[in-house]
A and B are shown apart, each in its own frame.
Chain A
Amino acid sequence: MTAVAVPAQEEKTRRARIVASPGAWLVWGSVTFFFVMLAGVIGSVVVSSFGRRWFDTWLPESWTTQWYGQAWHEFTLLDVLIVTIEVSLLVVGISVLVGVPASYVLARRSFPGRRVLYLLFLLPILMPPITYGIPLATVLYKYGLAGHMTGVVLANLVPSIPFVILTMTPFIEQVDPAIERAARMCGARTWQVFLRILAPLLVPGILAASILVLVRTVGMFELTFLTAGPDSQTLVVALYYTMSAAGIRAQQSVDAMAVIYTSMMLVLLVIALRFVNPTQLVARVKEDPS
């Protein structure tokens, strides 16, 4: 999406049309309204987290960073962050290892039952997490797997593996099958084709899928909430608990924690957008090739 040089004349007429059309004003107006609201929502949390006291005024009376320190110590944020990172990396690693071979077969081969399998892999994404989360948590508790990190990782794998499969399919379709055939002619076995031919070619796709799964896992509330024990909470879940127990703790330190969470997500987002197109964050949709 590079800027295209438009001749001055054309530029002029286009601008004139936008000025004239009331529909355009309505559309841009509602977009602006949405962003103003969004800025208000995010801004009020950020301002609140830096304010000493903020009751019935436009802005807090004085500013401080003490809430961050307090949030850090009171909520043992370091531990929570470590758990969040461990869980996310494990989920990313396992779902890529399991998902990429499966998506390779689904993208390249046709065999009886392929459509059924595809639907089966699609289902966990289509169902609300709570509907399968509650029975899943029940099963995991029955086998003593929930309440610590194993359960959290297992539960988060359910939507992540299908997500890797869906994200990887277009990347695999782009690799020319002739390259693989050539490698086979030279005597490479399947695992060699995978490691020496496909893996290097698929690095961009794998990176994209990993980062998307990372963002989803860090942000996944329901499944982690249902399976986490006291020492395996990720940041979102810890945030939810401190918020729903409001009144005990100062509002501002909850806000500070929310800001830490948002900054973490934003950093991930910036990294993610270096590798993927925004539309891929929501679905597998082929973008305009031009």
Chain B
Amino acid sequence: MTALRHRLAERGIDRQLLLLVPALLCVLILFIYPFAYGLGLSFQPSQGGVFGAYREFFADAYQRDTIWTTLKLSLPAAFLNVAASVPIAYRMRGRFRGKRLLTVLLVVPITLGTVLTAEGLLNFLGPTGWLNRTLMSAGVIDEPVRLTNNYWGVFFSLVITGFPFAFLLILSYLSGIDPTLERAAATLGAGWWPRFHRITLPLLAPGLATTFCLTFVLAFSVFPSAVLVGDPAGTTRVISIAAYHAAYEAYDYPLASAIAVVMGVVELAVVAAVLGMRSLFYTGSTGGKG
């Protein structure tokens, strides 16, 4: 018994690892078990055999198209958030006065949450909101632009909550890249564009991929704003609405679990594709603390 304990301790297993048990139990009971249960449930629909629920989902265009609707919203939103963050963060990575204030201001929309953002967008971008009013009195447009209760309302809410998130992440990745590398390139006569796209961008690629994935996950699970500022029965009927309807309005738990599984698979597929693309680029030390 003692011998066994010694052998295990040599490999790093001893009683201290018991400290992991509560956390592990919580994750197993509250995350893995429900997930497995849902997976099992999705294969036991009331009719249609093992794959009945999945067939029901994919056969019905109204349900199937929710995947496309969600991707059409979340991919451009995530892409815009990351693409806009890069030049801004690149410009701001040095130290300057008011940087802390700026980062604090950028955290505000993250804490607003989707519900308040939705309410604000309805007021601000609505037909009699300040934006339409300003544009109309400036003579840019003759009648109000419709920006809420359609695709754009949801898109804007995704940008408002997603952009600060992407920006803060990219800023911290950029400040992890050793600035002397770029200075060395400048000494060798490289202009700002070669410096950016031959040195900084390849080093930033892993960070970009991670940021894109996290922003995409946020945007992909869009739910309250799609209902509140979107057009939940039509152009912004995202997959989480479909799952919610199946579970809480139709009480069809197998279908709801199937939709949740499809949602997870689609999301992980996009994440895997992005991370796969990333591995084509340089992987290694960023020379700094990244």
A residues at B contact (CB < 8 Å): 1, 3-4, 23-24, 26-27, 30-31, 34-35, 37-38, 40-45, 48, 55-56, 58, 97-99, 101-102, 104-106, 109-112, 117, 120-121, 123-124, 126-132, 134-140, 154-155, 157-158, 161-162, 165, 190, 215, 219, 221-222, 236, 239-240, 243-244, 254-255, 258, 261-262, 265-266, 268-269, 273, 278-279, 281-283, 285-289
Contact = CB atoms under 8 A, between A and B. Distances in A.
Interface string B234-250: 00000010011001000
Contact of B113 (A35, A111, A219, A288): A219
B126 to A, nearest CB: 9
Given A135-B257, A158-B31, A279-B168, A102 B20 contact: yes
A269 B108 contact: yes
Interface in B222-274: 223-224, 227-228, 240, 243-244, 247, 253, 256-257, 260-261, 263-264, 267, 271
B12 A135 contact: no
23 contacts: A24-B91, A27-B87, A41-B124, A42-B112, A43-B124, A98-B26, A106-B20, A112-B11, A128-B217, A128-B221, A132-B31, A134-B260, A136-B30, A136-B31, A136-B34, A138-B41, A157-B26, A221-B114, A221-B224, A243-B119, A258-B119, A261-B116, A288-B175
Interface string B160-194: 10010100110111011000000000000000000
Contacts of B38: 132, 134-135, 138-139
B99 to A, nearest CB: 7
B151 to A, nearest CB: 17
In order of increasing CB-CB distance, the 10 nearest A-B pairs are A135-B38, A128-B221, A41-B120, A102-B23, A111-B12, A44-B123, A101-B19, A285-B172, A136-B34, A135-B34
Given A44-B129, A111-B11, A138-B34, A129 B221 contact: yes
A48 B35 contact: no
Contact of B267 (A128, A258, A269): A128
Contacts of B199: none
Interface centre among B108, B115, B247 (most CB of A within 10 A): B115
A117 B133 contact: no
A219 B111 contact: yes
Contacts of A135: 34-35, 37-39, 41, 257, 260
A281 to B, nearest CB: 6
Contacts of A265: 111-113
Contacts of B271: 126
B172 A221 contact: no
Contacts of A24: 91
Interface centre among B19, B156, B175, B228 (most CB of A within 10 A): B19
B19 A254 contact: no
Report whether over half of chain A's contact residues are helix, strand or loop; otherwise say mixed.
helix
Nearest to B22: A98
Given A99-B23, A139-B33, A4 B13 contact: no
Interface in B97-119: 97, 99-100, 102-119
Interface centre among B119, B220, B221 (most CB of A within 10 A): B119
Contact of A244 (B31, B103, B168, B228): B228
Nearest to B120: A41
Contacts of B247: 134, 137-138
Nearest to A41: B120
B24 interface: yes
B5 to A, nearest CB: 14
B84 interface: yes
A104 B21 CA distance: 12
Nearest to A1: B100
A28 B208 CA distance: 21
B2 interface: no
B107 A283 contact: no
A187 B256 CA distance: 56
A189 to B, nearest CB: 11
B285 interface: no
Interface string B193-213: 000000000000000000000
Given A4-B95, A111-B11, A265-B112, A38 B37 contact: no
A243 B115 contact: yes
Given A110-B12, A279-B103, A120 B257 contact: no
A38 B115 contact: no
Contact of B35 (A132, A137, A288): A132
A48 B273 CA distance: 44
A38 B289 contact: no
Contacts of A4: 95
Interface centre among B39, B88, B224 (most CB of A within 10 A): B224
B19 A40 contact: no
A1 to B, nearest CB: 5
Nearest to B19: A101
Given A138-B41, A243-B119, A130 B97 contact: no
